[in-house]
Structure 1
Amino acid sequence: MKLPEQQRTTESKTVDRLPDSALRFIGFLSFFDRYGTAPMLLMLSAGTSLSFTQAVELIAAYALLYAVGQPFWGLVSDRFGRLTVLRCSLVGAMLGSIASVLFTDYLPLLLARSFTGLMFGAMYPTLLTLLGDTRKGIDRARGLSDLQIYSSLGTTLATLAAGLLAAYLDWRVVFILPALGAVAALVSLRGVREPARGHAAMKLRAAVRPANLMLYAIVFVEGALLMGLLTYIVPALQQSGVGVGLSGVLGCGFALGVILGARLMRRLVARFSRTWLIGLGGAVLFLSFAPSAFSPSPASFTFTAFFLGAANAIMHSSMQGWATDIAPEARATTVSLFVFSLFFGASTLTYLTAGLAANADYAQIFGYGFWLGIALAVVATLAHARWRAANPA
């Protein structure tokens, strides 16, 4: 029989919410792995039996499984629990990363990276769900801010370091680090108890109304441009003669654009409606591609990276707000399909442009981004204006 003091000591080792340190580290880890492959495409191709096109396809396959897994992980999370999904995904990510180190032939490496993408894809949405389940008000806002900051840091460090690690050590180092990180993350989750959650059924019908389908189509194109074409920034810099280390630094212009754009958004939100912000962000998006499309150079690629980040902060954050409002009675399902469309768009465009990337025709790739960006800005702005008129606040 436990004495009261012993019982209190045992209970003190169990907590009901995810510690801030675990939240930040897992957010960092998931984005480090997602963006760690692109800066070392040339080294990966040189160090394996893969062609450059096949190396690009590894990223596309990773992004595809990352996207496809979103609705699946939402269902599993509701059925078995958030922390169950988070722990299982970390174990799977560790195994997938280890497999990525062991193989050098195309097919087994493609399967390993696809599986790893599926596992890492569970982490960020599960963290968001845990924040919603366990925190309220200012506490939740701080958690969301921490998650965004540390995820951006993961993207930045991957962009800066992955190419250098692959060039001066080995490309395998970039894949083994997330495996070690997954082990550390599992240790950080010891003693965290599954939070209470509701048992509301998913309302698929409300999530697939015509307005929702239009939103998913728009974010599919947005994901293709924002995330799909971001993949080519560092390879384009390297192809234009910039060294591995400097290309990673310049590629981090995207993260700087996100940070400064997010600060600007604090002022813009108070002055402009979401419709105007979507239009403004769309304009920043297509204009970001103009220099790289019509006058490709290291400076223009750096310009594109920075303003892609700004467009992410302005347009995509506004699109996220639209996704959370469009079907309140089916918010979880709607958001999962929204995220799926975003990453599916990114992986689709990466697949479609892999041949152009193999020929280093980055001007043409970014030219597609420019013209598609114009269409996206117009359609997204008009679609939101129409939806807002039909659904006044």
Structure 2
Amino acid sequence: MKTQQELEPSIGSVPDSALRFVGFLSFFDRYGTAPMLVALSLGTSLSFAQAVQLIASYALFYAIGQPIWGVLSDRFGRLAILRAALTGAGLSAIASILFTGFIPLLIARSLTGLLFGALYPTLMTLLGDTRTGVERARGLSDLQIYSSLGTTLATLASGAVATYVDWRLVFALPAFGCAAALFSLRKVAEPAHSRARFNFRAAVRPMNLALYAIVFLEGGLLMGPLTYIVPALQESGVEIGLAGALGCAFALGVILGARLMRKLVARFSRTWLIGGGGLLLSVAFLPSALFPSPASYTVTAFFLGAANAIMHSSMQGWATDISPDARATTVSLFVFALFAGASVATYLTADLAQHAQYGQIFGIGLVLSFALVLLATGTHALWRRKNPPASL
């Protein structure tokens, strides 16, 4: 009789369930702090501004670590980095519950961001190593579903847990999750061909640089405006708890879009999926740009999620294909560009948000989304003509 592990689909020799759980875990930790900012400042010696700085530092080190993890993954192997990052992330999460002072917590959360930042790109790289075509696209969609579930649970639950139980529990849960993930990977061997000969030049070819520039703009449009959904809902008169729940329309959009994506990848090329997802991004901005209201902001959140599931997962597939001889480094630079774009967009629109000009922010997103569709589809079509065997 076959064991459960033998019956379960897997990525190479790595069970899919383990990788989905790691995807869930990485996004739960990443989005778990923001909803409990007030409880964290009340339960420690931190001011609210200092609590916010914990998130900013986490995000900074999460982004900074991307190229580092990519290089190390190409040099030492995917599972070696995954295990090392899970071990370090678990220890850093434990350190986060031992301190209440600002500097020790800042160091602990910065290290946690650095280490958790290795997880998702490594999962993407494993998919790139061991799957091709439709199966790779479906694997990426599955990862998006589970990461969105992690985001949703963190958004809905971490504030309540911190308020009614203890803020330390929000940091402790990912530590337990890291231990569980390590246990599930204890007998897993490194997949074949997951350790590449290091070739940094392959990750910075002209077409790679074009991809990073496109995803920089995509990050600014997908993740930058998403920051303002809940504040815009509050500004329009929605109570904070309901605003948070309505903001979760983004995760619903990702989940439903990812389920749809599993069917679309068998019928349409990646170029068409990038274009279709980009048009969904334009649809997302349209109601909030023209008719700002709680309903339009909720619709925007939903379609931002759907665009993420269709356009961005297609961009992720492109990133795993474009340089097989430097896949981990390429994927990590891709993720770095995504977060850099989101950070720059948030910085550039901060003054508009300060004056509650959310309609103008979404209007700018609407205009730029058309430019993104043209750039992304045109560049991918050009790359596809030159590399037909490697594309969908």
Task: Using structure 1 for the length normalisation, give the TM-score.
Answer: 0.80
Residue 18 (structure 1) shift: 3.2
Q: 1:233 to 1:206 in 2, by over 3 A?
A: same
Q: Percent identity?
A: 72
- Match for 1:285 among 281, 284, 293? 281
Aligned pair 1:259/2:255, yes or no? yes
Q: How does 1:46-57 map to 2 (within 5 A)?
A: 49-51=46-48, 55-57=51-53
Note if contact 2:125-2:327 (Cα within 8 Å) is conserved in structure 1. no
Q: Secondary structure at the match of 2:224?
A: helix
Bigger mean CA deviation after superposition, 364-373 or 90-99: 364-373
Cα distance in structure 1, aligned partners of 2:87 and 2:276: 41
Cα distance in structure 1, aligned partners of 2:352 and 2:38: 15
Q: 1:220 to 1:186 in 2, by over 3 A?
A: same
Cα distance in structure 2, aligned partners of 1:138 and 1:279: 17
Cα distance in structure 1, aligned partners of 2:269 and 2:221: 23
Matched letter for residue 70 of structure 1: Q
Matched letter for residue 317 of structure 1: S
Aligned pair 1:370/2:370, yes or no? no
Residue 261 (structure 1) shift: 1.9
Cα distance in structure 2, aligned partners of 1:145 and 1:251: 21
Structure 2: give runs of 5+ residues left out of the alignment: 1-11
What's the counterpart of residue 338 of structure 2? 342
Cα distance in structure 1, aligned partners of 2:340 and 2:384: 26
Q: 1:329 to 1:102 in 2, by over 3 A?
A: closer
Note if contact 1:164-1:244 (Cα within 8 Å) is conserved in structure 2. no
What's the counterpart of residue 300 of structure 1? 296
What's the counterpart of residue 313 of structure 1? 309
Structure 1: give runs of 5+ residues left out of the alignment: 1-15
Matched letter for residue 276 of structure 2: L
Q: 1:141 to 1:325 in 2, by over 3 A?
A: closer
Cα distance in structure 1, aligned partners of 2:246 and 2:377: 31
Cα distance in structure 2, aligned partners of 1:196 and 1:390: 27
Cα distance in structure 1, aligned partners of 2:182 and 2:269: 42
Q: 1:226 to 1:184 in 2, by over 3 A?
A: same
Q: Deviations over 1:59-109 (max 9, x none)?
A: 343233222222211222343343332232123222332343455565544
Q: Deviations over 1:93-150 (max 9, x none)?
A: 2233234345556554443322211111111233344456677999978765654432
Bigger mean CA deviation after superposition, 27-36 or 201-210: 201-210
How many residue pairs end up in the alignment?
379
Note if contact 1:323-1:335 (Cα within 8 Å) is conserved in structure 2. yes
Note if contact 2:257-2:309 (Cα within 8 Å) is conserved in structure 1. yes
What's the counterpart of residue 214 of structure 1? 210
Note if contact 1:101-1:172 (Cα within 8 Å) is conserved in structure 2. yes
Matched letter for residue 335 of structure 2: V
Task: Using structure 2 for the length normalisation, give the TM-score.
Answer: 0.80
Determine which structure has more spread, i.e. the larger CA radius of gyration. 1
Cα distance in structure 2, aligned partners of 1:229 and 1:129: 28
Cα distance in structure 2, aligned partners of 1:46 and 1:301: 30
Cα distance in structure 2, aligned partners of 1:166 and 1:229: 27
- Tell me the C-alpha RMSD between the 2 structures: 3.5
Residue 310 (structure 1) shift: 0.8
